[in-house]
Amino acid sequence: MKFVGLVVLLLGVGTAAPAWAGTRDDTERVLFEFKDKRITESSGLALSPTRPDLVYTHNDSDAGAQFFAVGLDGKTRATFTLAGAQARDWEAMAASTDPQTGRGVLWFADIGDNLEGAWPDISVYKVIEPERLRSATLQAVRYRFRYADGGRNAEGIMVHPKTGRLYVVTKEFSGSIYQAPKELRTDRTNVLRRVGEAPIMATDAAYAPDGSSFVIRTYFSASVYKAPDQLLSKVTMPALAQSESVAYTRDGRALLTGSEGLNSPVYEVPLPAEVTGVRASPTPPEAVETGRSTKVQPVASAGPGGVSTAMIALWVGVAVAAMAIIVLLARWTVR
């Protein structure tokens, strides 16, 4: 929601670099900028599972069921349209590999709900990665979902690289991670069940290539977890106009993050040692597989998503001040 995003950006004044953020050996750098004038609201980002020099992105709502294959020079290589797919509010995408064929699989999440739960269900589209970089229309499989505990606004999905399990991360002041069924059905609505907390106002999420961790992006930073509610590190991210996307690099040692806007940049941000030194579990943690959440508080006096209570209080105070300013401006404009 754009208005909420504005308030959250106001909240970010003075809090863009959390004191508990992990330390890194290197600084972030701009990897490339999108050159295509049609890419104005890059909302999802994923690396090609089969091509080392290619990423995929898509626009936000009102842009149609379309995505772009982009080289690391920022130039569009091909544009693809999903036949019969809707694009009510595409907010995220993910990439995985089919264990049987070795083909890349792309997932597009029509999960945005600016009315905070008004839609009876949400959709995720699955498409086989095209073998040729030639603009085309592709057939997609649609999976419908509903939350077990009521509608939510969400902007993040991730797919476990070893199990293929899909997760949705909600964008709320008290966000959550939801797990999809192990086997997805096309003949009925799949139920999403809560398995953990998410940071405040999450804008995207992604799994590491080896499944050893996953990241949740917010307007201010990125939180890296070993499993739901098991925080490894907070990572300070570049200050962007509207932080919308995140993905791991192919070697899992850095993050890519992007923003909406024309010619928007994609940054590469190195991960701290406490993240890159983690090994993948032979199987996903029990909390992820069973829906049970093992609570681990990595930060003293932590609130939702590992954010300190003091920080939450500060944000609330700034939010109240921001709302007061907005009201005063509105009244002044009416005059």
What is residue 218's DSSP assignment?
E
Query: Can you list the alpha helix ranges (DSSP code H) found in the chain?
Result: 2-11, 273-276, 286-290, 309-334
Q: What is the pLDDT of residue 307?
A: 44
CATH classification number, 2-334, choose in 1.10.3470, 3.40.50, 2.120.10, 2.160.20? 2.120.10
Q: What is the pLDDT of residue 311?
A: 44
Q: What is the pLDDT of residue 282?
A: 52
Identity of residue 181:
P
Q: Which tens digits make up the pLDDT trace of 295-312?
A: 333 333 334 444 444 444
57: closest CA among 65, 69, 48, 49? 69
When pLDDT is cut at 50, 70 and 90, the band that residue 115 belongs to is confident
Average confidence score pLDDT of the chain = 83
Strand 136-139 to strand 76-83: parallel, antiparallel, or no bridges (unpaired)? parallel
What is residue 289's DSSP assignment?
H
Q: How large is the average pLDDT for residues 319-328?
A: 49
Q: Distance between CA atoms of 296 and 276, rounded to whole angstroms?
A: 20
- Count CB atoms within 10 A of the CB of residue 101: 9
Q: What is the pLDDT of residue 278?
A: 80
The secondary structure of 106-166 as a DSSP string is EEEEE---TTSS-SS-EEEEEEEPPSS-S-EEEE-EEEEEEETT----EEEEEE-TTT--E
In sequence order, which residues have a C-beta less than 8 Å from that of residue 115 and are 6 or more positions away?
A: none
Place of tokens 């999440």: 109
The residue length of the chain stands at 335
When pLDDT is cut at 50, 70 and 90, the band that residue 150 belongs to is very high
In sequence order, which residues have a C-beta less than 8 Å from that of residue 133 and are 6 or more positions away?
A: 54, 69, 77, 78
Break the chain into its structural domains and give their ranges.
2-334
Q: Which tens digits make up the pLDDT trace of 58-87?
A: 998 777 899 999 999 999 999 999 998 999
Q: What is the pLDDT of residue 118?
A: 79
